[in-house]
Structure 1
């Protein structure tokens, strides 16, 4: 019978090597050999006849051969493959029938009817009572995923294993109950412990998230900081816009005055009627430039403070004009005092925001007058030039304009 067992082993190895897809990470040659080893373990610890031992060993090796054809109903296919192999090996009909009966007993939903069916059933599920349970279980999860049968997350797979170990599976043979049940319970305990640990961790994270959200909603700190940050950024941006507008006016009017002085001034001796329009033009541009300079002219304060100012919270330490003349050590001390008092910090930011607003108000009021004078001056100048040419030199307007635009060589 040993030769028949060895032939079955070689047949199984070659069959799986040639026809079993690589996606079978659990139901493969390694699994069959584990079942074979578990069968031998039960046989050695139980009263089993030689013929029965042969049937059990052959069943252990051949019970999953049907996976080369199908997953659902693989037991029936395994019976067909085992029957053909054993007939080719001239095995006794009693052995063939016994192997077929044991293979069909590996169906998880069926209840074993005799001791041989109990042994093969226990051997097939022996990994539940072994130290390599987690490894074998993970291989089965990967197999289900690779074959797109069902995809379990690690936590879902753990729950599935807990359900199988605690509700669906049981050992039947005396040997398995005596030697593997304890390890099975230990594996179940590890799964329950892992679930409890994850549940505790998840609960802790949820509580942390709730407290964080509650603190965020209850505390106005973030909203206050956002307000000051946004307001100060907007004020600074508006100040930059005002400076840009003033610089544009300065550049434009500087060009205008340069063109007037270089081209139009030389024509005033022969065309005295152009003096008044030119004067209006130059004066309006000059006033515009002066106002633009005033709008951008910095105003620096005395840059000093006393300890009493800091203690009375009357100095704004966020503005450089209040401390640029102080020693570094004095400024550091003042900042430390500022940071000790939350209200003082917000008070300083409020003052900074307020005075930035006052500066912006001054800039934009001056700019408004600057643009108004510039526009009015341009309009009046153009009207004056038109009236002067119409009254004093009706036919020479085109010549003067062309000469003003294109200087003489």
Structure 2
């Protein structure tokens, strides 16, 4: 009988090597040899006749050959392949029938009927009671994933293994109950311990997230900081806009005055009617420039504070004008005192925001007046030039020569 065992082993090895898809990282020749080894453990520990031992060994080698054709219903396919091969090897009919029954017993449905079916069932699931259980289990998870059956997360796969070990699996033979059941219980205990530890960690993270969300909702700190940040940024942008507008007015009116001085003042001796409109134009431009300068003119501050000011919370330490003359040590001390008091921090920011608003109010009021004078002065000047040219009764060509002698 040893010859048929060796022939069967070689047949299964070549069959898997040639036809088994590479996605079968668990149900392969390695798994087959593990089941075969487990069968031999039971046979060596028990008393079996040669025929029963042969049936068990052949069933162990052939029980997963059906995977070369399909996954679902592979047991029936394994029976077909085993029958064809064993018949080709002139194996006795009762041995073939015994192998067929043992292969179908690996289907894990219901309770195995006979002793041989119980043993092959135990051997097929012997990895539950082995030290390599975790390794074999991981290979099975990867196989299910690579074949698109289901992608279990590590946590889901652990829970599935616990469910199988507790609810769906049991050993039947005396050898398995004596030697593999204790290791199975150890493997189950490890999984339960991991789940408990993971559950505590998950619960801790959930509580932490809930507390964080609750604190975030309950505390106005974030909203307060956002308010000050947005308000101060808007004030600074508006201040930049005001300075830009003032610079535009300064540049435009400087150009206007330069052109007037270069082209009109030299014509007053012969064209006296230009005096008054030119004077209005120059005065409006000069006043516009003066107001633009006033709008952007910085205020001078004393740049000092006392310890009493800090104690009374009357000094705004966020504005450079209040500390630029102080020594570094004094300023550092004042900042430390400020940071100790949350209310003082917000009070300083509020003061800074308020006085920035006051500065902006002054700038924009002066700028409004500046633009008004510039527009009114320009209109009056144009009207005055029109009246002066009408009184002098000169042609358009002469006006062009006065403004631009090279025309």
Task: State yes or no: 1:188 paired with 2:191.
Answer: no
Superposed displacement of residue 362, structure 1 = 0.6
Distance 1:114 1:364 in 2: 100
Deviation at 1:401, TM superposition (A): 3.2
CA distance in 2, matches of 1:179, 1:66: 30
The 1-side partners of 2:268 and 2:85 are apart by 124
State the shift of 1:152 in Å.
1.5
Match for residue 400 of structure 1?
A: 399
How many Å apart are 1:345 and its aligned residue? 1.5
**1: CA distance between counterparts of 2:64 and 2:240?**
80
Q: Could you give the per-residue CA deviations for residues 241-282 of structure 1, whole angstroms, max 9, x where no partner exists?
A: 111111111111111112222223333332221111111111
Matches within 5 A, 1:347-358: 347-358=347-358
1:407 CA drift (Å): 5.2
The 5 A counterparts of 1:320-335 are 320-335=320-335
Equivalent residue runs for 1:288-367 within 5 Å: 288-367=288-367
1:201-243 Cα distance to aligned partner (Å, 9 max, x none): 1111111111111212222222222221221111111111111
Please state how far the C-alpha of 1:408 moved relative to its aligned partner: 2.4
1-structure distance, mates of 2:93, 2:99:
10
CA deviations over 1:52-79 (Å, ceiling 9, x no partner) = 1111111111100011111111111111
Q: Aligned pair count?
A: 407
- Whether contact under 8 Å (2:228, 2:349) holds in the other structure is yes
Residue 28 of structure 2 corresponds to 28
Q: Equivalent residues in 2 for 1:254-269 (5 A)? A: 254-269=254-269
Once the two structures are TM-superposed, the CA of residue 129 in structure 1 deviates from its matched residue by 0.9
**Post-superposition shift, 1:88?**
1.9
Deviation for aligned residue 1:300: 2.1
Shift in Å at residue 402 of structure 1? 6.1
Call closer, same or farther: CA 1:272–1:10 in 2, change over 3 Å. same
Instruction: Report deviation, 1:403.
Output: 5.7
TM-score (normalizing by structure 1): 0.96
Cα separation, 1, equivalents of 2:82 and 2:162: 33
CA offset digits 1:162-216 (Å, max 9, x no partner):
1111101111111111111111111111111111111111111111111111212
3-state SS of paired residue (2:264) = helix
For structure 1, list consecutive stretches of 5 or more residues without a partner in the other structure.
none
Misfit runs of 4+, over 6 Å: none
1:171–1:331 Cα change, 3 Å:
same
**Aligned equivalents of 1:125, 1:390: Cα separation in 2:** 116
The two structures have a TM-score, normalised by structure 2, of: 0.97
Gaps of 5+ in 2: none
In 1, the alpha carbon distance for the partners of 2:113 and 2:400 equals 119
Q: Tell me what 1:100 maps to.
A: 100
Give the Cα–Cα distance (whole angstroms) in 2 for the partners of residues 50 and 267 of structure 1: 136
Partner residue of 1:144? 144
Report the more deviating stretch, 33-42 or 267-276.
267-276
The equivalent residue for 2:369 is: 369
- Name the counterpart of 1:245: 245
Cα offsets for 1:38-62 (capped at 9, x unmatched):
1111111122212111111111111
- Asked whether the 8 Å contact 2:58–2:99 carries over to 1, the reply is yes
Aligned to 1:75: 75
Aligned to 2:58: 58
1:394 to partner: Cα distance? 4.2
The separation in 1 between residues aligned to 2:122 and 2:234, in whole angstroms, is 76
> In structure 1, what is the Cα distance between the partners aligned to 2:270 and 2:179?
127
- Using the alignment, how far apart are the partners of 1:315 and 1:271 within structure 2? 62
Q: Structure 1 residues 399, 172: CA separation in 2 closer, same or farther (over 3 Å shift)?
A: farther
C-alpha distance in 1 between matches for 2:320 and 2:66 = 85
